Amino acid sequence: MEAARSVGPFVVVGGGIAGVTCAEQLAVNFPAEDILLITASPVIKAVTNFKQVSKVLEEFDVEEQPSTVLENRFPNIKVIESAVKQLKSEEHCIFMEDGHRHVYKKLCLCAGAKPKLICEGNPYVLGIRDTDSAQEFQKQLKKAKRIMIVGNGGIALELVYEIQGCEVIWAIKDKAIGNTFFDAGAAEFLTSKLMSEKSEAKIAHRRTIYTIEEMWPVYVELTNGTIYGCDFLVSATGVTPNVHPFLHGNNFDLAEDGGLKVDDQMRTSLPDVYAAGDICTACWQPSPVWQQMRLWTQARQMGWYAAKCMAAASLGHSIDMDFSFELFAHVTKFFNYKVVLLGKYNAQGLGSDHELMLRCTRGQEYVKVVMQNGRMMGAVLIGETDLEETFENLILNQMDLSSYGEDLLDPNIDIEDYFD
């Protein structure tokens, strides 16, 4: 798609996955236009080793790179390492911390999110967001005997499994671990793995508790009344979209979670301002088996799609919603298990009108499917199940599976053959 007359300049704010993908895609669409990528970080985040696992599932690595790598790959992208101080959307202009100003024809905001800490401004409460905060955490951890992790989502799950040589107290509100990804059954499957690998370390550390009590730098009182001393605590309690302070003074429509509302063309409520990634909240009518979660994959897909929408709008077209928003699909690793989440994997929004089917072999695999009116609506696959592609198809094509009953999860039946 190439323009006959200039449609730029395009400006993208944010050097994370959403911003970089958006800038790359704009550069491909408009090789003769200047694409300005503005980022407050000294490095950008690039997608490497991209692999399309199936129709919607994708896997890739996230690599921090100097901005020159991007500029060398795309000569029409210029990266500016400075924070945006103020957006003046009526003037189509952004003002920078370094004193410069940049005018845009179309702008995409990809400034991410920041940790939602349980207590702001306390040196003993750490949040993990980027390389700097991760390095600060590593530094503090080296000196620590006991830390507390608060929260029950992705970061907490990763930390409790990875941390060694330090006692960890994990404070969660829920009855089961990993509430943002798992139901109680999957949580139990994972808990047994955690306990089998971490029990020795726990017992060894328990002995030391009493000898050093009263010596802790910080004490934490939980809502159940228990007070624990520790060296510091990690608040792994979610993120909040990064809309302050540089967007102040503009009349953006914000969603309940604080994100910039975007429509099915990734447009915010202000003219020529688009948004993608953690900063935005999808406010279109979603497919029945898709939901937004602030994840790398969605940052990449939104950044890519926002660029396509900006390009189309610049040329006076509109485009159909990208296929990646048809089905929620996430592949990751927890406790060294491959984890695949598809569609309404936790029956989100289905109320009581659904059924679950389970297959579990302790220490090996956990398979759960969510069924509604004989159709597959979602699935959780833990371990090397090899079911992701078939289940992805079954969710996408909404085939009536009533007649198959329990055979769907029978390990002796080759389900792939069945539906070929």
Given the structure tokens 């790359």, which residue do they identify? 24
Q: Which residues, 43 to 62, sit near ligand NDP by CB under 6 A?
A: none
- Residue 133 as a binder of ligand NDP (CB under 6 A): the answer is no
In whole angstroms, the minimum distance from the beta carbon of 341 to ligand NDP comes to 9
- Residue 276 as a binder of ligand NDP (CB under 6 A): the answer is no
In whole angstroms, the minimum distance from the beta carbon of 386 to ligand FAD comes to 22
Q: Pairing between strand 167-171 and 146-150?
A: parallel
Which of 332, 372, 393, 398 touches ligand NDP by CB under 6 A? 332
In contact, 145 and 212? CB cutoff 8 Å: yes
Nearer to ligand FAD, 7 or 247 (CB): 247
- Residue 230 as a binder of ligand FAD (CB under 6 A): the answer is no
In whole angstroms, the minimum distance from the beta carbon of 140 to ligand FAD comes to 15
Total binding residues toward ligand FAD, as defined by CB under 6 A: 31
164: buried, middle or exposed (CB in 10 Å: 19+, 13-18, 0-12)? exposed
- Residue 47 as a binder of ligand FAD (CB under 6 A): the answer is no
Nearer to ligand FAD, 41 or 287 (CB): 41
- Residue 237 as a binder of ligand NDP (CB under 6 A): the answer is yes
DSSP string, 307-362: HHHHHHHHTT---PPPGGGSS-EEEEEETTEEEEEEESTT-TT-TT--EEEEEEET
Taking CB under 6 A as the binding criterion, the range among 39-47, 66-74, 311-319, 341-349 that sits at the site for ligand FAD is: 39-47
**106: which DSSP letter?**
E
In contact, 397 and 332? CB cutoff 8 Å: no
In whole angstroms, the minimum distance from the beta carbon of 215 to ligand FAD comes to 30
**278: which DSSP letter?**
G
DSSP bridge pairs for 358: 368
Give the number of other CB atoms < 10 A from CB of residue 31.
Answer: 12
List of residues contacting ligand FAD (CB under 6 A):
13-19, 38-41, 45, 83-84, 110-112, 128-129, 154-155, 242, 246, 277-278, 294-297, 299, 332
